[in-house]
Amino acid sequence: MVVVRGTHRVPGDKSITHRALMLATLAPGRSTIRGALPSLDARSTAGVLRALGAGISALRSGKVVQVMGRQELVAPRSTLQCGNSGTTARLMLGLLAAQPFQARLTGDASLRRRPMRRVTEPLVHMGAAVQAGRHDGLPLTIRGGPLQPLDWTLPVASAQIKSALLLAGAVAGVPVTLHEPAASRDHTERLLRHFGYPVRVLPGLIAMEPGGRITPFDMPVPGDPSSAAFLLAAAILADGGEIRIAGVGCNPSRLGYLAVLGRMGAPVGVEGVREPFGEPIGELVVRAGPLRAVTVPAAEVPGLIDEVPILACLAARAHGTSRFHGLAELRVKESDRLALVAENLRAIGVTAEVQGDDLVVEGTDALLQGRVRTAGDHRMAMAFMVLGHRSPGRIVVDDPGCAAVSYPGFPAALAALAAGVA
Ligand code: S3P
């Protein structure tokens, strides 16, 4: 019997931590970031920004991060290492597009396979010069300079592309108008607004005008709702009890998965929401209970893009057949998440299939066991660690350590759910 209880916390939001570090670097003077995520991905961003002249204190759990930003960035002396982090690579391309020097970026084997042309093409349109190899990915070299205004239609709903282009426009002082097929997370728009940039958002359209000024700040980073999703899922799968996760980001563009959990029969309460730095923060409350199958239409996917692996694992324990539609973007995440999640579900005894861009998962209450291949993908590792939590030793995740890309201390957090310690 696993009964969960207590109030828990999750580490800082990954998306907001990247953006806070970048904006603090652009703000001449000393900024402080409280609750920043001390994960490998966030450290990649800090490392790149240090190479461009920022002073950034060590990213450690429970420590406030101090950033010494500067008026002008300096040309890096060596290749910028983005590690496993797509957000680092893509947002930095936006920042670098407006800088009067050349920089070369690379990443680990997973990141080098991920598409970058979707960001570099509009940046070249704005006036940046990009030298890339024959394949669409890192390493590549960018030389920035004065930029032109941009009016661009995004090929996919992606906060990383959108943010890169908005940051390029903000730094270069030119208007940027973007047409997006569906709304994606809006942290960059909120932050730019905070610094006085007029950002207009209409369905399918984002229009930013120059005119803001990035000045030193003191920012609290909320807990990451995508990390909270793993703890909520583990609690739902328990035999009984209820947990509360405090201090979590409740930005609606990140909480698409709550609607899906509700339809599966696991409603999540959102309580005590406040908005300290333009970002809603609140508490999420959920109880253990049975799940029913769900259909997730393609239109919902941009709002829960990082939660598909854990929702698919929950679907494996739901009554009936679940269908997730329109998952093409999952193919270009830290792994081919669409193929790999199906492969791993099958490896532990679940009937799961990829049909075109859709994923079909048949729920079961049979004993699950087998070996899970993460391909170094943090969300793959955590999703299957949650599924394996109930029956230790039966589901073996090949690289549990890769969870530290976004959630340092995840195994301990999972174990603490039953103990009820925060
Ligand atoms: C992120 C955007 C998403 C998400 C990633 C973080 C961001 O990627 O999957 O984990 O911080 O902007 P896409 O923009 O490629 O969908």
Nearest to 158 by CA among 257, 306, 340: 306
Q: From the CA of 115, how far away is ligand 1's center (Å)?
A: 13
pLDDT confidence of residue 419: 79
Q: Are 142 and 129 in contact (CB under 8 A)?
A: yes
3-state secondary structure of 416: helix
Q: Are 291 and 322 in contact (CB under 8 A)?
A: no
| Residue 260: CB atoms within 10 Å | 22
For residue 139, whether the previous peptide bond is cis, meaning omega lies within 30 degrees of 0, is yes
Q: From the CA of 85, how far away is ligand 1's center (Å)?
A: 10
pLDDT confidence of residue 392: 82
Q: What are phi and psi of 43, to 5 degrees?
A: -65, -30
For ligand 1, pick from 93, 158, 300, 335 the residue to mutate: most ligand atoms within 8 Å of CB: 158
pLDDT confidence of residue 192: 98
Ligand 1, residue 162: give the atom nearest the CA: 14
Rounded to the nearest angstrom, the gap between the alpha carbon of residue 349 and the centroid of all alpha carbons in its chain is 29
Catalytic residue numbers, as ranges: 306
For ligand 1, pick from 87, 178, 377 the residue to mutate: most ligand atoms within 8 Å of CB: 87
Q: From the CA of 159, how far away is ligand 1's center (Å)?
A: 5
pLDDT confidence of residue 391: 81
Provide the token pair at 414.
């999972």
Ligand 1, residue 160: give the atom nearest the CA: 14
Terminal Cα-to-Cα distance of the chain (whole angstroms): 20
Question: Hunting for tokens 């002082």 — which residue is that?
Answer: 173
pLDDT confidence of residue 422: 53
Angle at 292 (CA atoms; ends 289, 297), nearest 5 degrees: 130
- Cα gap 384→321, rounded to integer Å: 19
Ligand 1, residue 333: give the atom nearest the CA: 9
Ligand 1, residue 14: give the atom nearest the CA: 11
pLDDT confidence of residue 89: 98
Nearest to 367 by CA among 383, 386, 344, 390: 390
Q: From the CA of 87, how far away is ligand 1's center (Å)?
A: 6
Per-run averaged pLDDT (10 residues), the chain, 422 residues:
95 98 98 98 98 98 97 97 98 98 98 98 98 95 98 97 98 98 97 98 97 97 98 97 98 98 98 96 98 98 98 98 98 98 98 98 97 98 95 93 97 90 56
- Cα gap 98→178, rounded to integer Å: 18
For residue 42, what is the enclosing H or E element? helix 40-51
CA atoms within 13 A of residue 157's CA, in its CB half-sphere: 22
pLDDT confidence of residue 1: 84
Ligand 1, residue 305: give the atom nearest the CA: 9
Q: From the CA of 36, how far away is ligand 1's center (Å)?
A: 17
pLDDT confidence of residue 421: 60
Q: Are 418 and 2 in contact (CB under 8 A)?
A: yes
Angle at 310 (CA atoms; ends 111, 369), nearest 5 degrees: 100
Q: Are 414 and 49 in contact (CB under 8 A)?
A: no
For atom 11 of ligand 1, the residue with the nearest CA is 15
For atom 4 of ligand 1, the residue with the nearest CA is 306
For atom 16 of ligand 1, the residue with the nearest CA is 158
Q: From the CA of 163, how far away is ligand 1's center (Å)?
A: 10
Q: Name every protein residue with a CB atom under 6 angstroms from any ligand 1 atom.
A: 15, 87, 158-160, 163, 184-185, 305-306, 329
